[in-house]
């Protein structure tokens, strides 16, 4: 059925939560965001952030989110609890849990806060990339469902093909946005911070068992900067610093219009090779 103006975007359906009482919600995994094992980690992180945003005591805008994937999430219903641990004048600290059948699968902490005008500077330079419309959309494999919800235009470091060999570095740079296009907000930015395939795939030249253990996102943009981004593609880049002993790290940067650094993320990934 074609998308209509009033239809719910698949992303919003996936992060939707029903309130039980203040700080307690029910939700369900969405088949469109299925991954190799359980749902796409980015949609889980976005759902947990949404639980805080829905809380009647929430203060300000997201500053950071750390999600610990303690166990696989089964497809189906789940419950999320969000608890404000401490509220200060400018910041608010949260703990969040996702449970299924009373068993904790995912834990998280978040910091929200009020932003005020101050001196500002961005030291990091945006990577060099041609405009998004000059880069072809990369056809994605049907092996995992969730990639179909994103328009990805790889500038460098695309997913290795069947004849790829080891790559000298782990950097990928791409233009990316929701598919269908959707105005950017904090929840969708959260998910975008996890759209990168495991860096070990690129270095080794092929897919291998891997999964995120913990993911931390720092939100640099405020609501006005996200509104200015609207539904335009985000320039995203990720790389690893070290691989070994079953784990590697991954650092990512996401850029918006006017060379605005929207968010940075860091994660630790388990792998076998």
| pLDDT, position 4 | 45
| pLDDT, position 5 | 56
pLDDT grade for 162, boundaries at 50, 70 and 90: confident
Is 90 exceeded by the pLDDT of residue 3? no
Task: Classify 30 as helix, strand or coil.
Answer: coil
How far are the Cα atoms of 69, 195, 199, 239 from residue 255, in angstroms, in the given order?
A: 26, 14, 20, 15
Q: Residues of the chain with pLDDT > 90: what percent?
A: 93
| pLDDT, position 244 | 97
Residues, the chain, total? Answer: 273
Strand runs labelled E in the chain: 18-21, 24-28, 61-69, 77-87, 91-100, 103-113, 150-156, 172-178, 210-219, 234-239, 243-244, 247-255, 261-271
What pTM, to 2 d.p., does this model score? Answer: 0.96
Best CA proximity match to 60, nearest among 266, 248, 219: 219
Q: Is residue 128 packed enough to be buried (19+ CB in 10 Å), middle (13-18) or exposed (0-12)?
A: exposed
pLDDT tens digits for 190-227?
Answer: 999 999 999 999 999 999 999 999 999 999 999 999 99
What's the rounded mean pLDDT across residues 78-85? 98
pLDDT tens digits for 260-270?
Answer: 999 999 999 99
> CB neighbours of 4 closer than 8 A, spacing ≥ 6?
none
| pLDDT, position 163 | 87
> Which domains does the chain carry?
10-114+128-271 (2.40.160.210)
Beta bridge mates, 3? none
Is 50 exceeded by the pLDDT of residue 2? no
Higher pLDDT, 142 or 234: 234
Contact 248, 200 (CB under 8 A): yes
Is 60 exceeded by the pLDDT of residue 247? yes
If you search the block for the tokens 């070994």, which residue do you land on? 244
């Amino acid at each position: 059925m074609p998308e209509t103006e009033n239809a719910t975007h698949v992303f919003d359906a996936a992060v939707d939560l029903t309130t039980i009482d203040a700080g307690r919600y029910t939700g369900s995994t969405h088949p469109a965001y299925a991954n190799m094992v359980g749902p796409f980690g980015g949609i889980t992180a976005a759902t947990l952030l949404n639980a805080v945003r829905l809380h009647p005591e929430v203060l300000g805008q997201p500053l950071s989110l750390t999600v610990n994937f303690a166990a696989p999430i089964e497809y189906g219903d789940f419950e999320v609890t969000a608890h404000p641990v401490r509220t200060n004048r400018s910041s608010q600290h949260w703990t969040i849990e996702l449970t299924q059948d009373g068993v904790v699968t995912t834990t998280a902490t978040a910091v929200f806060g009020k932003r005020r005008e101050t001196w500002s500077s961005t030291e990091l330079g945006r990577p060099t990339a041609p405009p998004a419309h000059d880069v072809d959309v990369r056809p994605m494999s049907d092996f995992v469902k969730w990639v179909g919800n994103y328009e990805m235009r790889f500038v460098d470091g695309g997913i290795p093909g069947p004849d790829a060999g080891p790559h000298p570095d782990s950097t990928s740079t791409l233009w990316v946005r929701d598919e269908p296009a959707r105005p950017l907000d904090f929840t969708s930015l959260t998910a975008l911070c996890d759209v990168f395939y495991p860096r070990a795939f690129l270095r080794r030249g092929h897919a291998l068992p891997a999964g995120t253990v913990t993911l931390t996102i720092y939100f640099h943009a405020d609501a006005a900067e996200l509104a200015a981004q609207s539904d335009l593609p985000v320039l995203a880049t990720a790389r690893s610093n070290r691989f070994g002993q079953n784990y590697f790290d991954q650092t990512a940067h996401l850029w918006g219009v006017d060379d605005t650094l929207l968010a940075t993320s860091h994660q630790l990934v388990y792998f076998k090779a």
